[in-house]
């Protein structure tokens, strides 16, 4: 290491380095708290003033992040949040944790990453480490970030440093949090990787060093493509087994008794969350640039995208096959996974959109999402609020669709009072007579 790198390495080792985090959402906030709790001072950046104001007064706006942790970080005077990107020069390490969605053509939309990198570049100084955490395609750091950061004349690996370390957050997971999940780290050069590894090793249980930033970027995609493909597999099996009169959930329960060579994945109404519905398309886009058509991955994406159509068709069939115009439908669960308030890319929104397009009257109940947020992929949906779940309400709908199976819902009561329940999660007993699987 040269003198600049060695100085930064010592700052990290002594916890004197100040860490900046761009993006204070489901990734940025838990990462900020983990670094604070490891002894670092953190300066968070977000364009949403409501988020920065909440953190500065010690409040949490993310359901599974305890307010006590945020308040404790403020009491230690180690956590500050701001919307002023002009202060990025104050940070010794800048971690970028912004969304990487798909555009209308299902290709990578790198707008937030590009703008964040340009903001970092505007105040980049010798001795700063920049780490991208956002999920992205292999080559992003070298092809997109490096030219922007190096445009001012500073040399990467000598005067500033650049690495990639993919976020591995699982909102609401009681067993694993930011500090207990191993962190994959790869630099665009060896020194950058060394510095990023040094930083994360202070805050997480284990760092997993790989040979390059591109390798780390590919690792993240593989993790989620693995899940996406297996979800598509069981969804396709579900569709094939239904006309045979075979319950896919019973098959899965039997199959998982095998003590080797099998890993259970459950079917559902589609895929959700920020990563699984997006990562396969990021990889496919990059692969096509190299003349490779990843047919297996693209087929999995197609199957998962079509599952909401199957759910609506199953409802229509269960109601006698007549058009759904004028029918009253209740969706149970709006978030993408049980027991969290995270609605990102939830299949519930696609089901809601399809039902509204057919003229159905649709409400939802979700104890974790009381007000339906505006969604990037479903911009034209009308405002919705969670309706109360009581016997009279449930009985007033022509059909109830179980989309996300939150533990707080009394499903026995739902089955007792509903005229019809379409169960996409295999949770309810079909023997009751008013439950159909989808």
pLDDT band at 313 (very low <50, low <70, confident <90, very high): very high
Instruction: Report DSSP state, residue 39.
Output: T
What per-residue confidence (pLDDT) applies to 290? Answer: 96
pLDDT band at 432 (very low <50, low <70, confident <90, very high): confident
Residue 437: other Cβ atoms inside 10 A: 20
Pairwise CA distance, residues 55 & 36, whole Å: 13
Give the model confidence (pLDDT) of 126-168 as tens digits.
Answer: 999 999 999 999 999 999 999 999 999 999 999 999 999 999 9
Q: How far is CA 204 from CA 27, 74, 136, 185, 316, in A?
A: 14, 21, 22, 12, 49
Give the model confidence (pLDDT) of 98-126 as tens digits.
Answer: 999 999 888 999 999 999 999 999 999 99
Residues 256-284, mean pLDDT to the nearest whole number = 93
What per-residue confidence (pLDDT) applies to 146? Answer: 98
Q: Whose CA is closest to 239, among 252, 248, 251, 227?
A: 248
pLDDT band at 310 (very low <50, low <70, confident <90, very high): very high
Active site residues: 275
pLDDT band at 67 (very low <50, low <70, confident <90, very high): very high
Domains of the chain (ranges; CATH) run 3-211 (3.40.50.720), 231-437 (3.40.50.720)
What per-residue confidence (pLDDT) applies to 256? Answer: 97
Contact yes or no for 395/387 (Cβ under 8 A)? no
Q: How far is CA 99 from CA 109, 213, 287, 389, in A?
A: 9, 19, 21, 33
Q: How far is CA 76 from the centre of its chain?
A: 29
What per-residue confidence (pLDDT) applies to 53? Answer: 97
Give the model confidence (pLDDT) of 355-379 as tens digits.
Answer: 999 999 999 999 999 999 988 889 8
Q: Is the pLDDT assigned to residue 172 strictly greater than 90? A: no
Residues 232-241, mean pLDDT to the nearest whole number = 97
Q: Is the pLDDT assigned to residue 180 strictly greater than 90? A: yes
Pairing mode of beta strands 421-423, 399-402: parallel
What per-residue confidence (pLDDT) applies to 20? Answer: 98
What per-residue confidence (pLDDT) applies to 275? Answer: 85
């Amino acid at each position: 290491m040269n003198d600049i790198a060695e100085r930064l390495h010592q700052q990290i080792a002594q916890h004197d380095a100040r860490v900046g985090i761009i993006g204070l959402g489901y990734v940025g906030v838990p990462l900020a708290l983990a670094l604070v709790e490891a002894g670092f001072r953190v300066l968070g950046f977000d364009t949403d003033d409501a988020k920065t104001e909440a953190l500065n007064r010690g409040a949490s706006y993310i359901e599974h992040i305890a307010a006590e942790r945020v308040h404790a970080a403020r009491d230690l005077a180690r956590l500050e949040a701001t919307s002023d990107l002009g202060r990025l020069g104050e940070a010794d390490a800048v971690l970028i944790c912004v969304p990487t969605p798909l555009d209308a053509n299902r290709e990578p939309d790198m707008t937030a990453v590009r703008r964040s990198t340009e903001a970092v570049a505007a105040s980049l100084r010798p001795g700063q480490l920049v780490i991208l955490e956002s999920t992205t395609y292999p080559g992003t750091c070298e092809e997109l970030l490096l030219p922007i950061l190096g445009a001012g004349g500073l040399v990467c690996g000598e005067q500033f440093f650049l690495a990639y370390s993919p976020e591995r957050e699982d909102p609401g997971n009681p067993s694993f949090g930011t500090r207990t999940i191993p962190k994959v780290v790869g630099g665009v050069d060896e020194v950058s990787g060394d510095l990023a590894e040094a930083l994360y090793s202070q805050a997480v249980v284990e760092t997993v060093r790989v040979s390059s930033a591109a390798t780390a970027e590919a690792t993240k995609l593989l993790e989620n493509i693995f899940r996406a493909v297996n979800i598509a597999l069981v969804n396709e099996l579900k569709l094939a087994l239904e006309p045979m009169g075979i319950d896919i959930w019973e098959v899965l329960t039997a199959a998982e008794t095998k003590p080797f060579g099998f890993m259970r994945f459950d079917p559902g109404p589609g895929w959700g969350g920020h990563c699984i519905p997006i990562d396969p398309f990021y990889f496919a886009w990059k692969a096509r640039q190299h003349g490779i058509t990843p047919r297996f991955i693209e087929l999995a994406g197609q199957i998962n995208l079509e599952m909401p159509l199957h759910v609506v068709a199953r409802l229509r069939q269960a109601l006698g096959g007549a058009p759904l115009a004028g029918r009253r439908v209740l969706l149970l669960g709006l978030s993408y996974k049980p027991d969290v308030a995270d609605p990102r890319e939830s299949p519930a929104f696609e089901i809601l959109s399809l039902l509204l397009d057919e003229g159905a009257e649709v409400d939802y109940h979700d104890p974790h999402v009381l007000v339906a947020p505006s969604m990037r992929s479903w911009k034209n949906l009308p405002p919705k609020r969670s309706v109360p779940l009581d016997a009279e309400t449930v009985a007033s709908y022509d059909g109830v669709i179980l989309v996300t199976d939150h533990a707080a819902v009394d499903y026995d009561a739902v089955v007792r009072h509903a005229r019809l329940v379409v169960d996409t999660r295999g949770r309810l007993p079909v023997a009751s007579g008013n439950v159909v699987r989808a």
